[in-house]
Amino acid sequence: MSKQDGSSRQVTTGPVDDSGTPILHVDMDAFFVSVELLSRPELRGKPVLVGGTAGRGVVSAASYEARRYGVNSAMPMSVALQRCPNAIVLRGDYRKYSEYSRRVLTIFESVTPLVEPLSIDEAFLDVSGARRLHGSPAEIAWSIRERVRAETGLTCSVGVAASKYVAKVASGRAKPDGMLVVPADETVAFLHPLPVSALWGVGRVTEQSLAKLGLHTVGDVAAMPPEALERAVGPALAERLLRLANGDDPREVSTHRVEKSIGHETTFGHDLADPAEIRRSLLDLSGNVAVRLRRAGMVARTVVLKLRYDDFRTITRSRTLAEPTDVARRIYDEAVEAMSGLVGRGERVRLIGVRGEQLRPADGGFALWDPDEEWRDAERTIDQVVAKFGTGAVKPAALVGRAPERSAAGARFRQPFEGGDRPADH
């Protein structure tokens, strides 16, 4: 039995059929803020933000009190403070968050070995084999919530369902500090009234495209003829949305994490219009990506360029290579090619990013004729110098004397069905 309060929150409050729901999605509530409040209890019940305030700082996390003002993660801090002038801003401590994440993960792994972390504050669990020791899925979910609270002082929300997708949707509906079980035979009834934004892969742009077709709920999408949906969003996304709209997600919980991409991006302290300055940033970012590829023992087949203009328009361009690479110079050259025609005509850029995708292990088997051989040898030599003398010991001449921009790694693991144009705000 579940109930829904005046908001969109929905939680299980009584006996429910959980016999066909072995998948749990556990999501910590406002994780960064909640960790900070453990040492600042006087701030409980107040609008609290975690993030940077200097220059173009962004919101890393917002308390639920702050979210009532329309504040969410990844929002520029300046905008957040306009919406919520009385917000209390705290600087983040990633090491502390990592420690609490480790403690929570230990609780999960004491219940089942089938744990798939999605990020620092959420994970999937398959409890099929844990029933004999720990009870039914709903009982396990309840126990996990109680243990997290008792052993860390934090709260989490748990979705219990027959598939990963539905479990993730359910945990979001149960927030904050709730549990929602979706019986297997009620999956479609649960999904169909939800807005189309509940479908993985539907962000702001796709949502607008679907709205033009009169599709506002998951049920609307499920009832749409496949051919018409394909014309609107393309065959690949149409197939995915139709499957999800009917609760079809066959993916299993995987304990083997594979990085889907490795990238870096930079938000400039002031907008840039000079192509030479932008190219210098591309060179720096390409170097960072290449170093991380080599450390991970991976090569990338596709190079992706991300640009965000001063009006917040964001575009991406990709180039697929004949041979995968871990060479900064190749990544840089491809990124510059991808940027052709996008800057230099008065456009002002506030953010730029470079990402390597279609990763595969670097087995040393490069092409018979390797145009990057000299660059590859040089960069590996630089890796050795940096390992001995530290970061910054060697760098391209174009970057000497250049003040570093605020940069963020972009290698967060993504599931095949995850995505959308908007950041998650837990």
Average pLDDT for the chain: 84
CA distances from 12 to 8, 60, 388 (A): 13, 30, 56
Which secondary-structure segment (H or E) carries 23?
strand 23-28
Confidence of residue 200 (pLDDT cuts 50, 70, 90): confident
What is the predicted pLDDT for the residue at 339? 93
Distance CA 188, CA 219 (A): 8
- Are the C-beta atoms of residues 284 and 352 closer than 8 Å to each other? no
- Whether residue 340 contacts residue 282, with contact meaning beta carbons closer than 8 Å, is answered with no
At 317-328, the pLDDT tens digits run 998 887 888 899
- What pLDDT does residue 28 have? 97
Q: What is the pLDDT of residues 153-187, one digit of tens each?
A: 999 999 999 999 999 999 999 999 999 999 999 99
In a domain, 174, yes or no: yes
Per the domain annotation, does 3 fall within a domain? no
Task: State how beta strands 179-181 and 156-161 pair.
Answer: parallel
* The pLDDT value given to residue 397: 46
Average pLDDT over residues 353-379: 67
On whether residue 252 sits in a domain, the answer given is no
Strand, coil or helix: 418: coil
Supply the DSSP symbol for 297.
Answer: T
Whether residues 169 and 236 fall in one domain = no
What pLDDT does 76 receive? 86
Q: Note whether 355 and 298 are same-domain residues.
A: yes
Annotated binding site: 27, 121
Q: Structural domain of residue 365, as residue ranges?
A: 261-409
> pLDDT value at position 283?
94
Asked if residue 171 and residue 203 are part of one domain, the reply reads no
Within this chain, do residues 214 and 123 fall inside the same structural domain, yes or no? no
Confidence band (pLDDT; 50, 70, 90) for 136? very high
Placement of tokens 């506002």 in the chain:
216
Please tell me whether residue 180 adopts helix, strand or coil conformation.
strand
Per the annotation, binding residues for Mg(2+) are: 27, 121
Q: Cα-flanking dihedrals φ and ψ of residue 265, to 5°?
A: -145, 160
Q: Residues of the chain with pLDDT > 70: what percent?
A: 82
Residue 425 confidence (pLDDT) above 90: no
265, 241: one domain:
no
206 and 162, same structural domain?
Answer: no
Same domain, 40 and 72: yes
- Three-class SS of residue 157? strand
Check whether 413 has a pLDDT greater than 50. no
Query: How many domains does the chain fold into?
Result: 3
The domain that contains 234 carries what CATH number? 1.10.150.20
For 196-222, what is the mean pLDDT?
91
Pairing state of beta strands 48-51 and 88-90?
A: parallel
pLDDT tens, 273-285?
999 999 999 999 9
Q: Which residues are catalytic?
A: 122
Q: Which residues pair with 262 in a beta bridge?
A: 356
> Which of 62-71, 197-206, 240-249, 367-376 has the least mean pLDDT?
367-376
In terms of domains, do 65 and 179 share one? Answer: yes
Co-location of 128 and 49 in the same domain: yes
pTM for the whole thing?
0.68
C-alpha pair distances (Å), 310 with each of 85, 314, 370, 404, 420: 23, 9, 39, 20, 21
pLDDT of residue 419: 32
Per the structure block, which two tokens stand in for 201? 């892969």
